Structure 1
Amino acid sequence: MLNGTVESIAKNTLLYSFVLSQPFALYAGAYPIFENKTLLEAEELEYGDHGEAVRILQYKLNELSYYDDKIDGELGVLTEHAIKKFQRDHNMTITGQANKETIYALIEVEIEGHLKRLENLSGSVYPGLHSEDVKIVQESLQYFGYYEGEIDGMYGPLTKKAIEIAEEKHDIDFQDEAPQQSFNTMYESERQQAAAATQTSTKQSSIKQVQVQGGNSGIIQTAYAYVGTPYVWGGTSPSGFDCSGFLQFVYNTEGISIPRTVTDIWNFGSPVGSPSVGDVVFFETYKPGPSHAGIYLGDGKFIHAGLDGVEVSNMYTSYWEQRYLGAKRIGE
């Protein structure tokens, strides 16, 4: 299930209890982050299933022009057909079942649509401003459950409050950064959390079975010891890591000095054609070029500091595979 951002929102906004108490028709599409949470918790929806998660699935498919029948919460023939069309168009295995990969893909397409709108932002927003830019900002804040007012394009008290909450939760500053950059950071958080929910949980015992050669054994064992450590933006210690802070800490513990940022680690390492256990694997996430990295464990798995904390992920899920840039070896 989604953690991090979603759970913190649920604890800090009245919207969560409001959404749960209202008929679906009243809030459908207004608070996508809560809809995403419901879908990802469902894990898999198939023919014959019914309920709130199916209604949300039908709504999203309808918004993307794959489903044009009644949104009734019943996964019947037409809903199954819509799922198959979506899977076909996105090069997925065509099953008619909405598994986690399919659900995440729906969320990804939805996010891409929101980001496309952000390209229309012309400048900064500030209290008192009444403009189309403010309306776009309000819609993006509403996506995360921070904004609960009318989408009216007026930067008033509710918009100001929503921005302040978003800034605190995501460590961003709408005044110092362009709004588009700030929202890219927020949407990337949502992307990574949704991606994490599609991955099969990896137990500690499975990591211990990885055969490690030579000097890399200490690196893997050290990295493994911190599974579950929370994600902290800028974190470099066992109280909390970001992705590059985690890598630097692990390598420093083993007596190897590496740079602090993902980009510098990318430039520091020696390129390899395919990763071996202990190599660093890199991904392009919220900006062009290497922006996320982890330590390769073998069998397509890597350990990294994701937004749900230090965890093991599979490189071959749809999210990570399409963002993989390459691997580098440290110490050669």
Structure 2
Amino acid sequence: MNGTLEHVVKQSFIYSYLLSQPFAAYVDAYPALQNKILQEAEQLQYGEHGESVRILQHKLSKLSYYDDQIDGELGILTEHALKKFQKDYGMSITGEADSETIHAIIKAEKKRKIRQIEKMSETIYPGMHSEDVKIIQDTLKYFGYYEGEIDGIYGPLTQKALEVAEEEHDLELTKGVTQASLQAMYQKDKDVKVKEDVEPQSASTTKKKIKNVQVKSQDYSGVIQTAKALIGTPYVWGGTAPGGFDCSGFIQYVYETQSVTVPRTVSDMWNFASGVSKPSVGDLVFFETYKPGPSHMGIYIGDGKFIHAGESRGVEISALNNSYWKDKYLGAKRVSN
């Protein structure tokens, strides 16, 4: 059995094996086979769960769009991560992982891998021990050729993996690995053609789009009116209704009256919303109170004030420059309608 056939059989076996294993067993081991699992899902939408969603969350995390637990549940935070990715790459913003979005995520991941290859400084030969060898091993592992530890040592395992890759891709790899030969592996991969460019839109285009969204849909008057109408509502730990609110329950309730779904907890809301340099009316303001990190929040209403559900007096309006809140202020974030 030659190297190529051996690798094809091995991949088929591994693919069947992965489907029966816990996600943690292969999370970083076989990205190319993860791509196959993800593409076979075709479309993932809110409320779905399973291994395909775990892989989706993992890839979005690697691309810095998702920063929460990889739990296999396509909930609010995963949906929001998909929307951010779709907006950055000029796609229809649906929050669903359709075939186009899945294809774009895989291409974006490969582009990131190729950028790592561009950091290589020299041709690599057997016996070398360097950061460049780690890049080679990472590339080989992506395609399932390399099973060892990414340790930067060009030993027998790395050599064997290069031999199989060389035969399958018809590239010269064992006589000296270069940037060009590794990049060609991604470009030859029949799963996704990297030469089809995939890049986030330019900063100027993104800013223009954000501005248009704000003009057309960012109207927080209903949010502010509803929030002010609830002044005096008592504070209740875990409260999510007008009979009593905690700080995040208050925010969630107010936004839901405007048909905007947001996460339940302060920390999830911090990850969900987009950061802004200074608050505008309707933005969320966050504070570090009883534990490290964001633990309290309110809605900015202008003139240096915010409305929130405080433990002492319930829903009330407070000033950001109050000595207590000023010292605990973490920053402002924005929820897009």
**Mapping of 1:174-185 within 5 angstroms?**
174-175=173-174, 178-185=177-184
1:139 alignment counterpart:
138
Distance in 1 of aligned mates of 2:129 and 2:161 = 16
Q: Does 1:170 align with 2:164?
A: no
Task: Please give the alpha-carbon distance, in whole angstroms, between the structure 1 residues aligned to 2:54 and 2:16.
Answer: 19
Unaligned runs of 5+ in 2: 200-337
Aligned: 1:66 with 2:68: no
CA apart distance, 1:175 = 4.6
Secondary structure of the equivalent of 1:194? Answer: coil
Q: How does 1:167-246 map to 2 (within 5 A)?
A: 167-175=166-174, 178-190=177-189, 192-194=190-192
Helix, strand or coil for the counterpart of 2:55?
A: helix
Separation in 2 of the partners of 1:165 and 1:57?
A: 29
What CA deviation, in whole Å up to 9, does each residue of 1:88-128 have, x standing for no partner?
Answer: 01100011110111011111111111111111112222221
Equivalent residue, structure 2, for 1:11? 9
Q: Would the aligned equivalents of 1:80 and 1:97 in 2 still touch at CA under 8 Å?
A: yes
Secondary structure (helix, strand or coil) at the match of 2:192 reads helix
Counterpart residue number, 1:119:
118
**Contact 1:40–1:194 (CA<8 Å) still a contact in 2?**
no
Superposition deviation, residue 26 in structure 1: 2.8
Shift of 1:7: 9.7
CA distance in 1, matches of 2:198, 2:165: 29
TM-score computed with the length of structure 1 as normaliser: 0.54
Once residues 133 and 152 of structure 2 are traced to their aligned partners in structure 1, the CA distance between those partners, rounded to angstroms, is 5
Please state how far the C-alpha of 1:17 moved relative to its aligned partner.
Answer: 5.5
User: Once the 2 structures are TM-superposed, how far is the Cα of residue 19 of structure 1 from its aligned partner?
Assistant: 3.7
Alpha-carbon distance between aligned partners in 1 of 2:58 and 2:8, rounded to the nearest angstrom: 22
Deviation at 1:178, TM superposition (A): 4.8
Q: How far apart in 2 are the matches of 1:89 and 1:26?
A: 31
CA contact (8 A) 1:125 1:179 kept: yes
**Most deviating of 102-111 and 125-134:** 125-134
> 1:177 deviation in Å?
6.5
Letter paired with 1:37: K
Contact 1:49 1:74 (8 Å CA) reproduced: yes
- The question of whether the paired residues in 1 share the 8 Å contact of 2:39 and 2:102 is answered with yes
User: What amino acid is the match of 1:11?
Assistant: V
The residue aligned with 2:99 is 100
List per-residue Cα deviations over 1:214-233 (Å, max 9, x = no partner): xxxxxxxxxxxxxxxxxxxx
Which amino acid in structure 2 is aligned with residue 70 of structure 1? Q
Q: Which runs of 4+ in 1 moved over 3 A?
A: 6-10, 12-22, 175-178, 319-322
- 2:166 and 2:173 in contact (8 A); partners too: yes
Tell me the TM-score normalized by structure 2.
0.53
| CA–CA distance in structure 2, aligned partners of residues 136 and 194 of structure 1 | 20
CA RMSD of aligned residues (A): 2.5
Percent of aligned positions that are identical: 54
State the Cα distance separating 1:16 from its structure 2 match. Answer: 4.2
CA contact (8 A) 2:57 2:78 kept: yes
Distance 2:73 2:45 in 1: 10
Relative distance call for 1:9 and 1:175 in structure 2 (3 A) is: closer
Give the CA deviation at 1:21.
Answer: 4.6
Cross-structure match for 1:274: none
Q: CA deviation at 1:139?
A: 0.5
2:83 matched residue in structure 1:
84
Amino acid at match of 2:30: Y
Contact 1:124-1:178 within 8 A present in 2 as well = yes
Matches of 1:111 and 1:74, distance apart in 2: 25
Shift of 1:141: 0.2
3-state secondary structure, aligned to 2:96: coil
**2:124–2:176 contact (8 Å) kept in structure 1:** no
Whole-Å Cα distance in 2 between the matches of residues 29 and 94 of structure 1?
28
Check conservation: 1:15, 1:148, Cα contact below 8 A: no
Aligned with 1:145: secondary structure? coil
Q: Distance in 1 between matches of 2:103 and 2:83?
A: 15
Distance in 1 separating the partners of 2:56 and 2:135 = 24
Aligned-partner Cα distance in 1 for 2:61–2:5: 27
Q: Is the 8 A contact 2:125 2:175 kept in 1?
A: no
